[in-house]
Amino acid sequence: MSVGIPYRKALSLYRCDYPHAAPAAVADDLLQNHHPDYQQDSLVRLRIGVNKGWLCHRELACCLQADAHIDEADLASCSITETDVLVIGGGGAGCAAALVASRNGARVILATKLRLGDSNTVMAEGGIQAAIEPDDSPQAHYDDTIKAGHYQSDKQLVADMVMDAPDTLRWLINEGMEFEKSDSGDLFTRRPGGASANRIVYFHDYTGLEMMRALRESVFNSNIRVWDNSPAVELLSSEWQSCAGAVLYSLPKKQLRMVKAKTVILATGGIGQMHLNGFPTTNHFGATGDGLVLAYRLGAKLRDLDSFQYHPTAIAYPSNLIGTLITESVRSAGGLLLNGLGERFVDELAARDVVAAAILRECAQGRGITSPDGGIGVWLDIPTMEQRSSGILFERFPKLYQLVKRTHVDLKTTPLLVYPALHYQNGGIVIDTFGRTSVPGLMSVGEVTGGIHGRNRIMGNALLDIISFGRKAGQKASEFNNGSHYKRSGIEHLTRWRRKLIEKSMSLDIKSPLLFPKMANFKLKL
């Protein structure tokens, strides 16, 4: 742990409403020297699979190259259910895909590891990007997204997403989602970090929670069959090596269930609960990278396996709240970042990877603040923001207002200690504009995919991504239904996978997907 300025001393150096000088220009080597993605000792090259030879984070590589939980004998007494579309994942992306597929006449099962809505979607606070202001345009949205992703995004995916953004908002409003509006009914907007215009539409500081409320109600009022507490432990393959369904595990019954489907849509989210590089995470309990593992074993191509987003501002003190997200909208509203000397050290609305790396630099070089319980971070100067706009904390950030009551910190006088936390999986499964993967019959949407955000995601594009591509995948999946027949299905692909592990002298004792964080000590009981 880096040694910083003691908490009490840093508080004595802090001055509320101090006329802070503009930050110095960010050095060209900031990311290279301080962002976790560039720590070479945390990366390895994959030894088997379609991405053999690619750089991958060590902990993720361990899961991708592990053995399955089950074999053919485990399926002998399984119940079998048939459907047109199987959606795996109950967050925003999965719900959007399921709703559109169902409304287009497909029989849909939506299987989720926990309960419908238990996902990263409900934890998204900031809002959704859409170019709807007179001085904005889809071209500017596209340019900002490409630039923030270090020009590594799939340009077609980005173009399709930004053009679809206004219609995505209309669809959500029709589903019953609320947004902050003026008295005349115009949507309020604010500027996200790394953007050139006010483009975020939002609902207080819990936009994702409001989105999930509306989507849950729509799903419950549809013909979609929802299977809660049913994580996927393996995909089914056909004799043509296409995807033919999945094997689910009923947590209440402790039994495997086979679902044969004409199309499978993976919407399983990210990997935050792997705690890469030992960082805390903003992610929900089920974010363990299951979809990546299942798709990779079946032969789906992945990308950007060494790129992850660390949100700059998560609570660093007190310890019981470490990793709790403080939305970027606080910085957009005027919250400044200060080191232990009371100095502003970065443009708070620069791209997230730049801001996170700047915080890590301050801490590494001794200008961070050491908390009373041994942690480290920098100040998020909310008191100055509150003084300049009295009541803004309560009016615009009610979730944060309630949260800080648990910190016993008076944000009208005392800054909040923050530190980066593992937040988002930039890379993932390669898809086309309809969510189709390189494996026939297998689609993917949401955070489990790669290409849309390149190597760094800009705020507000995640909630846009999951709905835009979720809708597209649902539409295409319902079209695949026409004239299709159920395939012969099983897990024969695991025989080929295990042969590769043995050929490389790799252990068969390690099983994946994780399904739940390591601290849960979860094991399948077959």
| Active-site annotation holder among 213, 303, 311, 396 | 311
Block residue for tokens 């997204």: 145
| DSSP category for residue 188 | P
Q: Is 331 a catalytic residue?
A: yes
Given 3-state DSSP classes, what are the helix, strand and coil percentages for the chain, each rounded to the nearest 5?
A: 35, 20, 45
3-state secondary structure string across 368-384: CEECCCCCEEEEEEHHH
What is the Cα gyration radius of the chain? 23
How many other CB atoms are there within 10 angstroms of residue 85's CB atom? 28
Catalytic residue, from 331, 361, 396, 493: name it.
Answer: 331
Three-state DSSP state, 232: strand
Q: Is 304 left (phi over 0), alpha (psi -120 to 50) or beta?
A: left
Respond yes or no: is residue 498 known to be catalytic: no
Residue entry with tokens 């509006």? 181
Q: At what angle do helices 207-220 and 461-480 cross, to 10 degrees?
A: 20
Residue type, 338: L
DSSP annotation of 344: B
Alpha-carbon torsion (59, 316, 211, 129), positive or negative: negative
d(CA 453, CA 458): 8
Q: Which residues contact 98 (CB under 8 A, 6 or more apart)?
A: 85, 87, 108, 110, 219, 222, 224, 265, 474
H or E element, residue 235: strand 232-237
Distances 98 to 218, 260, 263, 319 between C-alpha atoms, Å: 10, 16, 11, 39
C-alpha to C-alpha distance for 382 and 397, rounded to whole angstroms: 11
- Catalytic residue IDs: 311, 331
